[in-house]
Amino acid sequence: MPVSDYSQLNAFLDYLQFEKRYSRHTLIAYQGDLEQFFKHLEQFDQPALEQITAGMVKTWLASIKEYDDLASKSINRKISALKSFFKYQMRLGLLKVSPMTMVISPKAKKRLPVFVAEQDMDTLFAAVEFPDDWNGRTQRLVMQLFYQTGMRLSELIQLKQSQLDPGSKQVKVLGKGNKERIIPVEGNLLQELAVYMQDRPKQLAGPAYVFTTEKGRPLQPRTVYAFVKKYLAMVTTVQKKSPHILRHSFATHLMNHGADLNAVKELLGHSSLAATQVYTHNSIEKLKDTFNKAHPKA
């Protein structure tokens, strides 16, 4: 049976969604990548699953790199989608060997995380005036929680009151793949959140989200992006101003103050230490700066 009938694709996507708990964003990306690959296979007379070769994969990757000028990161995501798809077919017993064993992922350039300087974050919360209304309170608390916990945007807007534990000064976060992790939170911020939630609009139906609009609805990602960009622009000149920059700032500042790399990994909810190691560069640069300023032979 040729893969172009898409039945195997649909079964694979259901597996990713309901068993692996992949995010909607990843599902859409994988679906697009695989549909694009299946379209490429039409020139090979609709091969069956076991007839797909590494050469077919390589010609597809070469063609999209040439015509779409994709970065290594995008190419690697497409390779990852194909590897997962063929691995799933092997799991079902529909395939004995994956054609991806002969496909090598290009090396992607490691981009250093952009972050906001500590003094600029201090300025944000000490000197910037937030509106004295519901929206202003929401925006300030969201910014504080981003910076104090390093949460992802999706984790924060989906945060429910039941996940806060004021007694233990911590919050339980539901991250990628429905993996839970515990993050410490300052007691004063938890008290502010408690008061905020007591004053929240009563008309919200469903789960009691921590953060809502003045009409009692959960926050939307584009709304959070907009006000984070607005307030960061008041205190920093970094080019990117987004919720993820606050996550980078959280991790970088922890590393600069000597936090253990494995501890930062757990706080961020990374699945591998390699993802966290990018934050060591900035702490090393800080050590070099300290050395150059203080050592008599520097």
CB 13 within 8 A of CB 30: yes
Catalytic residue IDs: 152, 176, 244, 247, 270, 279
Max CA pair span of the chain:
73
> How far lies 216's CA from each of 130, 161, 220, 264, in Å?
20, 14, 12, 34
Total residue length of the chain: 298
Task: Report how far residue 118's alpha carbon sits from residue 232's, in angstroms, rounded to the nearest whole number.
Answer: 12
SS3 percent helix, strand, coil of the chain, rounded to 5, is 60, 5, 30
CB 188 within 8 A of CB 138: no
Of the candidates 224, 220, 275, the one whose C-alpha atom is nearest the C-alpha of residue 246 is: 224
For residue 165, the surrounding DSSP H or E stretch is strand 164-165
CA dihedral 143, 144, 150, 152 (to 10 degrees): -40
For residue 208, the surrounding DSSP H or E stretch is none
Of the candidates 132, 134, 136, 185, the one whose C-alpha atom is nearest the C-alpha of residue 159 is: 185
Residues 6+ apart with CB under 8 A from 149: 171, 173, 183, 185, 250, 267
DSSP 87-100: HHHHHTTS-SS-GG
Task: Report how far residue 282's alpha carbon sits from residue 248's, in angstroms, rounded to the nearest whole number.
Answer: 11
CA Rg value for the chain = 23
